[in-house]
Amino acid sequence: MPANLTPQYQEAEDAYKAALTNDERLAALEDMLAYIPKHKGTEKMQADIKKRLSKLRAEIIEERGRKGGKVDPYRVQKEGAAQAFVIGPVNSGKSSIVGWLTNAKVAIADYPFSTTVPVSGMMQYEDIKMQLVDTPPIIMEDPVSSLFSNARLCDVLMIVLDASDQSSVYVLDALSELLKSRKTLVDSTDASGAGITRGRLLVVANKMDLEPSRENLSTMRELLPDYKYLACSALSGEGMPDIPAAVFELSGIVRVYAKPPGGRLERKDPFVVKRGATVEDVAGVIHKQLQHSFKNARLWGSSRYSGQSVPRDYLVSDGDIIEFS
């Protein structure tokens, strides 16, 4: 055995030997692969770990199949106005962030792979709730396919990075290449609307309480200027309150309020539609029949409108109030 294995690797190997269940074995093996030094001298060991990983995954899938039906743990039922997947490398603070913003029971630990299956929670933004899905870390050498196939179906992708880590800029670069190769990050969505365009991606630079996070974030902004960045610390709370608004902004949804004829003018119980939706689309969301039956739509919104009639194909904006009659 090569003598230059890291303590983290040794720890993972000990955990593997001590594991009692296949899930524990899987977590430990994933750790071993993440922490094994990547050079010629360990190539054989890396190959061996990969072989054991794929065998174990097959076993786990078979086990789950026997227990009744194959379930894809990454297929998380959408809830609320929008769904955001929170992804990233080990220990970047994904679970801490999801825990801060939602009441989800996430596992936070200073050892890797404390999160083994996706866990979701609801995040409040003004009068709506959006879903955050905390996910197990991405291992660059051995990424889990179903993370990508499901992440491309969500509304917003949040990449959480440990900005204090010198290599974070390379991690972001490598991760975005991986996301592109798996058709998760795309230039334009496919016919079914799947795929995350750059406008739906938020890079969360976490651990701003540490040095040299600010410097590293500047480097990221400089080298990869096309992404939207948000600086935060799940420890100090800096930047955390800005996350819900940022996710809402990227989600491509708008809130529209219905005013019954003769009713009060108020913004309560929003209907959520996609940006680009028309007055007629909104009617359809309120009630299928209304879409065809309404004769007139009056709109209160931006300064341009305060109760004037608008055409059926008028594009609605966030905060518009509509009275159908």
Ligand X SMILES: Nc1nc2c(ncn2[C@@H]2O[C@H](COP(=O)(O)OP(=O)(O)O)[C@@H](O)[C@H]2O)c(=O)[nH]1
Q: Please list the alpha-helical segments (H only) found in 86-185.
A: 94-101, 145-151, 168-181
Please choose which of ligand X, Mg ion, none residue 92 contacts, taking the beta carbon within 5 to 8 angstroms, the exact cut-off set by kind. ligand X
157 lines the binding site for ligand X (CB under 6 A): no
The yes or no reply on residue 96 touching Mg ion (CB under 5 A) is no
| CA atoms of 30 and 8, how far apart (whole Å) | 12
Determine the residue type at 51.
K
With CB under 5 A as the contact rule, which of the stretches 36-44, 112-120, 191-199, 246-254 interacts with Mg ion? 112-120
Site pattern 113..132 for Mg ion (x: CB under 5 A): --x-----------------
283 by DSSP, 3-state: which? Answer: helix
By beta-carbon proximity to Mg ion, the closer residue of 99 and 244 is 99
In the block, residue with structure tokens 């608004």: 245
Could you say whether residue 168 binds ligand X (CB under 6 A)? no
Distance CA 149, CA 143 (A): 12
Q: Provide the minimum distance between the beta carbon of 142 and ligand X in the complex, in angstroms, as a whole number.
A: 16
- Of 15, 29, 32, 90, the residue at the interface with ligand X (CB under 6 A) is 90
- Number of CB atoms found within 10 A of residue 141's CB: 13
Q: How far apart are CA 243 and CA 228, in angstroms?
A: 12
Bridge-based pairing state of the strands 128-134 and 119-125: antiparallel
Among 209, 249, 280, 318, contact with ligand X (rule: CB under 6 A)? 209
**By the criterion CB under 5 A, which residues form the site for Mg ion?**
94-95, 115
**By the criterion CB under 6 A, which residues form the site for ligand X?**
88, 90-96, 108-110, 114-115, 137, 206-207, 209-210, 233-235
